[in-house]
Amino acid sequence: MSDKKTALVISAHAADFVWRAGGAIALHQSLGYEVTVACLSYGERGESAKLWKQEDMTLERVKKARKEEAQNAANALGVTDIRFLDLGDYPLRLDRDAQDQMVDIIREVQPIWMMSHSKWDPYNTDHMNTTRFALECRMIAQAWGHNPGEKVLGAPQMYLFEPHQTEQMEWKPNVFLDITSVWDKKRAAIECMQGQEHLWNFYTNVAENRGNHFRRNSGGMAGGRKAEYAEGFEMIFPQTVDELT
């Protein structure tokens, strides 16, 4: 394990990390972090409609194409450690083996912070099951009795990234991250997602709107920080601070 600061993003499908957390990932890579991205599936069945509309498409070809896209997107964000667990999608198979694999990854990475989906997503249960799974694996990684002798996990914050159709997901941001300096990288990663071109401008608009909220919440008209693009996150755990700011 290197001396670098580390973070772990757990993405249900191969593209989720790009739309929802690409800015946070690129920003922290540029700050010297090693951000590991774990894709539980390729989104091969449920999030690859454009590919399935092509003739003679097979599950293996869709998986290969989605893996390439996700790998290219990770490269665009500066990520060198992306893992594909290939657990299947719609539905994800989050069984005991998957849990063991993820706990091993968490203990290996020892992330300062973790990130996953919203707690609730009635449109896509893979997403909300991933969050539950991530929290469960975080808990197991903290247990001294699990694989005794390994380094146990501390208490990394769990950030929930912004879902699609925000208001339906009971998701409420309490952190805005300025991603203006890495926006070009996020847009380049977005454009790697050839199978979901209909979302490119949608997520550009989301980043612009969150940039507005960043300005509003960092001082508004009285000295608000200029941010053109931002991402919102919801924290699960309380922050521990020495001074209120």
The site for Zn ion (CB under 5 A) is made up of 12-13, 16
Residue placing its CB nearer to Zn ion in the complex, 33 or 233:
233
Contact assessment for residue 35 and residue 138, using Cβ atoms and an 8 Å cutoff: no
Residue placing its CB nearer to Zn ion in the complex, 13 or 63:
13
Q: 114 forms bridges with which residues in the sheet?
A: 8, 158
Residue placing its CB nearer to Zn ion in the complex, 23 or 43:
43
Q: Closest separation between CB of residue 13 and Zn ion, Å?
A: 4
Residue 107 CA, distance from chain mean position: 18
Q: 34 forms bridges with which residues in the sheet?
A: 6
CA-nearest of 44, 87, 80, 47 to 64 is: 44
Helix ranges (DSSP H) in the chain:
16-30, 49-52, 59-77, 96-109, 125-141, 183-190, 200-217
Q: Closest separation between CB of residue 79 and Zn ion, Å?
A: 18
Q: Closest separation between CB of residue 131 and Zn ion, Å?
A: 12
Residue placing its CB nearer to Zn ion in the complex, 13 or 215:
13
Q: Closest separation between CB of residue 176 and Zn ion, Å?
A: 22
CA distance 160 to 116: 5
**Which residue's C-beta sits nearest to Zn ion?**
13
Q: Is the dihedral of CA 92, 93, 95, 97 positive or negative?
A: negative
CA distance 102 to 82: 13
Residue placing its CB nearer to Zn ion in the complex, 131 or 157:
131
CA angle 80, 71, 231 (to 5 degrees): 80
Q: Closest separation between CB of residue 88 and Zn ion, Å?
A: 13
Residue placing its CB nearer to Zn ion in the complex, 12 or 18:
12
Q: Closest separation between CB of residue 91 and Zn ion, Å?
A: 12
